[in-house]
Amino acid sequence: FIFASSIISILIAIMKKKIYDISILFSLGAKNKLIYCIFLWYSLIYIVFGIIFGTSIGLLASYYFDSIIQNFEKFLNIKIFPSNAYFISFIPVKVIYSDVLCIVSLIFLLVITCSLYSIFKIIHKNSIKSILS
Distance, in Å, from the CA atom of 47 to the CA atom of 4, rounded to the nearest integer, reads: 9
pTM above 0.85, yes or no: no
Which tens digits make up the pLDDT trace of 51-69?
Answer: 898 899 989 988 888 888 8
Write the burial class of residue 26 (CB in 10 Å: 0-12 exposed, 13-18 middle, 19+ buried).
middle
- Average pLDDT of the segment spanning 71-84: 81
CA dist list (Å): 29 to 26, 34, 42, 127:
5, 10, 21, 15
Confidence of residue 133 (pLDDT cuts 50, 70, 90): very low
Distance, in Å, from the CA atom of 104 to the CA atom of 56, rounded to the nearest integer, reads: 11
Distance, in Å, from the CA atom of 55 to the CA atom of 49, rounded to the nearest integer, reads: 10
Confidence of residue 125 (pLDDT cuts 50, 70, 90): low
Backbone torsions φ then ψ of 94, nearest 5 degrees: -135, 125
Distance, in Å, from the CA atom of 91 to the CA atom of 81, rounded to the nearest integer, reads: 9
